[in-house]
């Protein structure tokens, strides 16, 4: 590795010399302009010309033959979040499950079917970085999660499971899009430049949205359980008491994230630990029952909230 000494130039600038071999390789001479940007990891990257980000084509083939629809869905999400922008799905049984696979594709933001035959579907990613605003996406997801928490609780009285499931679909769509673009920015400084976010800012959004996606899944499962329970009023009252406690903790964890409030984040972490201790004691009385399964889901929600609070505490 070569090194260069920093030379003071004028009152407010410093200069370093550039290797002559690099100048010749890039056909640069005295007076030519070069462009630079920070890449988020405390490094400066030099460019010989200023260009817009142009994405290279990444292609993947998913062999869906004799595979379950769950396999196809998971493989598609993995390809999407790993930024394959041309996805070919091969399936000799396509005529029988074309609608399901097309629905999987359309559930991912910016992914569209561009070709279909008897045994394959080709999807292309049209998601534009210019349409991505991480803060707005997180706040939108937060609003959906809050509504899901309320509707899941109301499933004790009325069946809102379809509404909660639809909301979880929206959470997934937002989450996978943000995760996809965040990963792209980690690999390409030009994408980070488009986002106008540093490396650690992007990483925090990535971790938070991954966590919110998991939380959406847990709320969806809890809504189904709430819709099934037939308990005494005292037991239901007790469940709702702890559920609303968890709901309040979630709101505080997001407030801590938005405001970069470490003290509030620490408070939520303490509440989470204490609440978990209390509800663990309840499990002894409700082994292998829907009540016990709901308590386990509450614990999972607390884990998600604690992860959000840890992110907020480190901002």
pLDDT value at 37 more than 70: no
pLDDT at residue 250, rounded to an integer = 97
Q: What is the pLDDT of residues 147-199, one digit of tens each?
A: 999 999 999 889 999 999 999 999 999 999 999 999 999 888 778 888 888 88
pLDDT at residue 13, rounded to an integer = 76
CATH architecture of 130-313: Up-down Bundle (1.20)
Tokens of 96: 């029988």
Closest CA to 258 of 217, 216, 311: 311
Strands 35-38 and 44-47: antiparallel
Measure the CA–CA gap between 118 and 222, rounded to whole angstroms: 40
Closest CA to 301 of 229, 226, 203, 206: 226
Q: What is the pTM of this model?
A: 0.81
pLDDT at residue 38, rounded to an integer = 64
pLDDT value at 40 more than 60: no
Backbone φ, ψ for residue 7 (5° rounding): -115, 130
pLDDT at residue 123, rounded to an integer = 97
Q: Specify the CATH number for 59-125; select among 1.20.1740, 1.10.155, 1.10.3470, 3.30.1370.
A: 3.30.1370
């Amino acid at each position: 590795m070569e090194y260069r000494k920093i030379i003071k130039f004028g009152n407010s600038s410093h200069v370093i010399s550039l290797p002559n071999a690099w100048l010749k390789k890039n056909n640069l001479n005295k007076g030519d302009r070069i462009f630079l940007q920070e890449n988020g990891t405390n490094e400066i990257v030099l460019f010989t010309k200023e260009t817009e980000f142009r994405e290279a084509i990444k292609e993947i083939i998913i062999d869906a033959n004799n595979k379950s629809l769950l396999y196809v869905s998971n493989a598609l999400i993995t390809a999407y979040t790993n930024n394959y922008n041309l996805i070919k799905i091969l399936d000799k049984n396509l005529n029988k499950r074309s609608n399901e696979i097309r629905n999987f594709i359309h559930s991912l933001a910016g992914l569209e079917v561009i070709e279909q035959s008897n045994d394959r579907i080709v999807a292309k990613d049209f998601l534009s970085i210019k349409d991505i605003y991480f803060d707005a996406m997180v706040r939108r997801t937060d609003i959906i999660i809050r509504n899901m928490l309320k509707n899941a609780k109301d499933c004790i009285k009325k069946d809102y499971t379809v509404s909660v499931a639809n909301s979880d679909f929206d959470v997934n769509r937002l989450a996978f899009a943000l995760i996809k673009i965040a990963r792209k920015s980690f690999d390409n400084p030009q994408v980070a430049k488009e986002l106008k976010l540093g490396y650690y800012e992007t990483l925090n959004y990535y971790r938070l949205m991954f966590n919110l996606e998991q939380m959406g899944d847990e709320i969806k499962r809890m809504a189904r359980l709430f819709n099934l329970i037939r308990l005494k009023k005292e037991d239901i009252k007790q469940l709702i008491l702890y559920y609303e406690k968890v709901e309040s903790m979630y709101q505080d964890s997001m407030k801590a994230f938005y405001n970069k409030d470490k003290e509030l984040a620490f408070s939520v972490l303490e509440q989470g630990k204490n609440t978990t201790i209390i509800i663990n004691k309840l499990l002894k009385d409700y082994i292998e029952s829907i009540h016990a399964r709901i308590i386990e889901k509450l614990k999972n929600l607390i884990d998600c909230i604690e992860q959000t609070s840890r992110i907020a505490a480190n901002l």
